[in-house]
Amino acid sequence: MRAAEMFAAGRRQVDVTVELEVFQQTASRWYRQWIEGGREALEAPVVPGTGLDDTQIAAIREELLKGPRAHGFATGVCTLGRVAIVIERLTAVQYGPTQTWTILRTRLGWSRQRPARRAVERDEDAIVAWRER
């Protein structure tokens, strides 16, 4: 971590604050952690758990492309909650909405889509005829 290198080089907390563009409280906390545990104390903690590998991501993509109805949902609307359920069924790993969205966006490269709102009673032929009048 860059802050640990700066502290080891004798730089002050204010230097870390300015150079790394962090709050003073953050630099102070980092300094205290660095004093107590060295560079290792500032390393990001390893979070236990299972991440999804590329094979699982490919399986999730394939299943999601089948649509919500293929997975027993009443409507064709795909929500983060429904995607999380499909992921859990396939991988036995639970994700919340934020993590589910991150998987869709970063691992699958998908973006948010909204269905077009059209009235059920909409008559395209009548609209075309009206426009041509």
Backbone angles phi, psi at 57, to 5 degrees: -60, -40
Q: 93 with 43: CB under 8 angstroms? A: no
Contact between residue 108 and residue 97 where contact means Cβ atoms under 8 Å apart = no
Q: What distance in Å separates the CA atoms of residue 116 and residue 95, rounded to the nearest whole number?
A: 28
Give residue-wise pLDDT tens across range 37-86: 998 888 876 555 558 889 999 999 999 999 999 999 998 888 999 999 99
Report whether 61 contacts 108 (CB < 8 A): yes
Question: Would you state the pLDDT for residue 50?
Answer: 56
Residue 113 has pLDDT above 90, yes or no: no
pTM higher than the cut 0.95: no
With contact defined as beta carbons under 8 Å apart, do 3 and 20 qualify?
yes
Which sequence spans correspond to the domains of the chain?
A: 2-42, 54-107
Cα–Cα distance between 55 and 84 in angstroms, integer? 17
Q: How far apart are CA 102 and CA 59, in angstroms?
A: 17
